[in-house]
Amino acid sequence: MKNKDFKGKHFITLQDWKKAEIDHALNLAGSLKKKYYKWTPHRMLRDKTLFMMFFEQSTRTRNSMEAGMTQLGGHAHDLTPDKMQLSHGESARDTAMVLSRMGHGIACRNCFYGIGNKYLNELADNSRIPIMSLQDDLYHPMQGLADLMTIQEYFGKELKDIKIAISWAYATSHAKPLSVPLSQILLFPRYGMDVTVAAPKEFPLLKSIVDTAQNNAVENGGKLNFVDDMDAGFEDADIVIPKNWGGFGNYTFDEYNANEAECMKEMKANLEKHKDWICDERRMGLAKKGVKYMHALPADRGNEVTPGVIDSEAAIIYDEAENRIHTAKAIMGLTM
Ligand code: CP
């Protein structure tokens, strides 16, 4: 497999990337990381342009992409709907058709439930340059790839039977999308990992994607189990990833978008029943000795996790965040 084989390939979900392609991207990310630390020039995208459209806020994704483009020798436009004619209703088709005649890649974050992934696919259907997801309502492939790189750095490339607890956690910050845990349950079992999802019954993941993730586990010798008890999820884990997500999985896209205010009210009421779902020192004690704590960030300190855990030696969150730039550069460098 060669870098040039990836030119023009969309990056909307890792499910559309073969394992060999993901491994190639991870190898490139590792090599770009070394070059970054030696400050060896690596201008794979000299004079190229990336358009980044953010429908929501971002710290890690925005800056890993923009700084990444600069380091690769190109330039990224940081766009939001208010800066574009999207705010006056311009279609995804026209946006993609026009931008794809002016640059070399389009990246987009649109996490509106039932809307975001459709929007990205509409961009892809009408673009002659690669579309990269910066997170949508279903997938966050940039995060998934950085997570996998970080896990391999700590546990090695052979990840069979590494036990991961992906747990729902209480948060007051906002109803976070399902895309991080959904991307993780799809990806980790493909690498043979033993994944347990712990969540209250009111916060299910999306059934159609869970079914695909189960197939990934069966086909690749991984495991995927579900429990409704945070303690049980943490038991014997090598890695814990406790994070809030909204109760979107209870609703079809149409139901949610027809009754958004009602659904949000119900989600909020359900949320308040589970304030005790916090990653604290006692729960970390249920996991294996040397357990690692991961979080895509931003974390809701004091709600999702205690300061004693997130600021402890177990936390590898800053490595995880740093790997966002190395993996983003690999994806941009390969596809653009
Ligand atoms: N993890 C992540 O995507 O962070 P941002 O929302 O800050 O981009």
Q: What is the pLDDT of residues 220-279, one digit of tens each?
A: 999 999 999 999 999 999 999 999 999 999 999 999 999 999 999 999 999 999 999 999
**Taking Cα atoms as reference points, which of 109, 81, 59, 107 lies closest to residue 329?**
107
Q: What is the mean pLDDT of residues 183-201?
A: 98
pLDDT mean over 19-42: 98
Tens digit of each residue's pLDDT (9 = 90 or more) over 291-328:
999 999 999 999 999 999 999 999 999 999 999 999 99
Full DSSP string of 232-296: HHHTT-SEEEEE---GGGGS-HHHHHHSHHHHHHHHHHHHGGGTT--B-HHHHTTS-TT-EE---
Atom 6 of ligand 1, nearest CA residue? 58
- Burial label for 214, CB within 10 Å (0-12, 13-18, 19+), is middle
pTM, full prediction:
0.97
Ligand 1 atom at minimal distance to the Cα of residue 59:
7
Mean pLDDT of the chain: 97
Strands 163-168 and 75-79: unpaired
pLDDT, tens digit, 9 for 90 and up, residues 109-155: 999 999 999 999 999 999 999 999 999 999 999 999 999 999 999 99
Please give the pLDDT value at position 175. Answer: 82
Q: What is the pLDDT of residue 157?
A: 96
Sheet bearing 292-293, strands edge to edge: 223-227, 194-198, 163-168, 239-243, 292-293
pLDDT at residue 174 greater than cutoff 80: no
Structure confidence by residue, pLDDT tens digits, 43-89: 999 999 999 999 999 999 999 999 999 999 999 999 999 999 998 99
Give the Å distance between the CA of 132 and the centre of ligand 1: 15
Please give the pLDDT value at position 233.
98
In this structure, which residue's CA is closest to atom 1 in ligand 1? Answer: 296
Question: Which atom belonging to ligand 1 lies closest to the Cα atom of 64?
Answer: 8
Give the residues surrounding ligand 1 with Cβ less than 6 Å away.
58-61, 135, 143, 296-297
Q: What is the dihedral of CA 279, 314, 245, 108, to 10 degrees?
A: 160
